[in-house]
Structure 1
Amino acid sequence: MKWSEISIHTTNEAIEPISNILHEAGASGVVIEDPADLVKEREDQFGEIYQLNPDDYPEEGVIVKAYLPVNSFLGETVDAIKEAINNLIIHNIDIGLNEVTISEVNEEEWATAWKKYYNPVKISEKFTIVPTWEDYTPVNSDELIIELDPGMAFGTGTHPTTVMCIQALERTVKQGDRVVDVGTGSGVLSIAAALLGADQVQALDLDEIAVKSARLNIKLNKVQERCTVSQNNLLDGIREDADVVVANILAEVILRFTDDVSRVVKRGGYFIASGIIAQKKQQVREAIIDAGFEIEETIHMEDWVAIIAKRR
């Protein structure tokens, strides 16, 4: 399939309404190229390197891009987008230069272009995540390497919620532990637990595609003898005791199964909960405490929170 890239040179003020217009026109997402990103300060506690090319950004204003399938209705769709953007002026929204350009993108090129922005990243004291297509030499002998081929569906393993989970696993997983990873996605947390010495790791996800992705990445990292992957709804049907349960999912979902976590985690074992936006922190903390846990540590990164709790 061929895709058409529509690019609108506009203003910061118009980003949100133009993004809405593009979504309504059928775009599943937008790309925003804002020159302010070139000077934005980012945390680099573990030596992450952010590579941005100034040539990709406008000198003034912002560029909003979206991708639409090339079909017989494309011309009408683009005309409707242009008209809707022009109508923003009626609502006193500054649309700036409002330069709209269209270019064709081959699907294969579009599906792989993102890889150039994904490089080895040290995400904690011990772990570095390395894409499968990169050559990487460990900096020191005790560095743990996770090779990941995330595809476009389950991320690169460097999102703050994932990073905090891996840091929490470093503090809680011991040799011979049994770990349950709820909502495994790419399988990165299960791989980390195995590399930290866990003897049995059970990776669970309701999404069939996630299950396949996790199995591939687990095999890639040669920990398949200690990791099993199953399609499962949260902890339904899980009976074995676990030393650690880790869940990097939405706060709303965590609230639904804290009692199940308490049932599965051994006394003195740990529950690592992440994927929690800051506004939901207190609500999740209270639910975890009510389920029989003590909060040992709360980790913050950007607008996200992870909680390490120990079962009383």
Structure 2
Amino acid sequence: MSNSDWIQIKLRTTNQLADTIADLLEQFGALSVSYTDAEDSPILEPRPGERKLWPNTEVTGLLAQGTDPEPILSALKAILGDHIPMMATHLEDKNWIRAWMDQFKPLKFGKRLWICPSWLSVDEKDSVVVMLDPGLAFGTGTHPTTALCLEYLDSLDLAGKQVLDYGCGSGILAIAALKLGAKNALGVDIDEQALIASKENATRNGVIDRLELFMGTDKKLNLPKSPITVANILAGPLAELEPIIADLTESGGLLALSGILTEQADSVIEAYSRDFIMNKVKDKEGWALLTGTRK
């Protein structure tokens, strides 16, 4: 192990103990601590203010170059016992910003829509490109639920129409709709960080003049009805929001819902069948896209 390498100490634990272990790693000199899923267990996007960890969580502490990890491992075992797996590994020193950027590539959705990081480009005739960098707000196009919604928007004739993006996150769906020809878009979210991200991304893509953003609440929103509504949230909140989303969608208007596991689709369809004629479920990697038409 070279003295120029960073040192990582990894511990596999439960979500209940993860924060305690993170605190111990910081006390022993960890420069940063991260949490990752130890068993590929899906955790859906939390509500604002809510924090979730995986049932089996790997906690990793990053230690300075040249640190001897053995005394730290011994101390952790003395405190936590031998039943918690832990190990030290080296992390080669390199240009981590470049390595991170190299992970991302342009992604195509439908026939002509692309989501592309700002440091790359798309060279395809008649392509519609949304420039979007990975960030704090949910929705960069890589998740199946976002992909389903983007493919749906690409399949529509949006020319001259208003699109409502309820739970806009990064603004990816609203921005994509505008790039695909929508006249204007409305973005609603209950997270202020999401609205900031949406505004920044819309500005970067040159469509901020056609996007209006609103802080959502449980109360009725005084917005014009839209002929097209998309909502990529979660099954539970979507079912609860049915009266609001129905009220914001014009008669005969189109609806697309995602953020729903396939096994949750029936309960959401039941909620929306009160005001919408729902179509057959479209599935992608265990996630569902629900579409329908406002009665």
CA contact (8 A) 2:265 2:281 kept: no
Q: Give CA-to-partner distance per residue, 1:33-57, whole Å, 9 cap, x none.
A: 99xxxxxxxxxxxxxxxxxxxxxxx
In structure 1, the residue matched to 2:290 is: 307
Question: What secondary structure does 2:273 align onto?
Answer: helix
Higher relative helix content = 1
- Distance in 2 separating the partners of 1:32 and 1:300: 26
- Distance in 1 separating the partners of 2:290 and 2:234: 13
- Distance in 2 separating the partners of 1:134 and 1:99: 37
- Distance in 2 separating the partners of 1:112 and 1:226: 34
Question: What secondary structure does 1:25 align onto?
Answer: helix
Q: How far has the Cα of 1:278 moved from its partner?
A: 1.6
CA contact (8 A) 1:277 1:305 kept: yes
Letter paired with 2:215: Q
In structure 1, the residue matched to 2:21 is: 25
Runs of at least 5 residues in structure 1 that lack an aligned partner in the other structure = 9-14, 35-63, 89-94
Q: TM-score, normalised to structure 1's length?
A: 0.71
1:121 partnered with 2:107: yes
Change in CA separation of 1:86 and 1:272 when aligned onto 2, cut-off 3 Å: same
- Distance in 1 separating the partners of 2:122 and 2:251: 40
Runs of at least 5 residues in structure 2 that lack an aligned partner in the other structure = 1-5, 23-32, 41-57
Change in CA separation of 1:81 and 1:161 when aligned onto 2, cut-off 3 Å: farther
- Distance in 1 separating the partners of 2:14 and 2:129: 41
Letter paired with 1:187: G
Q: How far has the Cα of 1:86 moved from its partner?
A: 2.8
Q: 1:287 aligns with which of 264, 267, 271?
A: 271
CA contact (8 A) 2:73 2:87 kept: no
Q: How many residues align?
A: 258
CA contact (8 A) 1:123 1:158 kept: no
Question: What secondary structure does 1:164 align onto?
Answer: helix
Q: 1:66 aligns with which of 57, 60, 78?
A: 60
In structure 1, the residue matched to 2:179 is: 195
CA contact (8 A) 2:166 2:232 kept: yes
Q: How far has the Cα of 1:299 moved from its partner?
A: 1.5
In structure 1, the residue matched to 2:237 is: 253
Q: How far has the Cα of 1:213 moved from its partner?
A: 0.8
Q: 2:89 aligns with which of 94, 101, 106?
A: 101
Q: Percent identity?
A: 28
In structure 1, the residue matched to 2:138 is: 154
- Distance in 1 separating the partners of 2:38 and 2:221: 43
Q: How does 1:149-228 map to 2 (within 5 A)?
A: 149-228=133-212
Question: What secondary structure does 1:271 align onto?
Answer: strand
In structure 2, the residue matched to 1:58 is: none
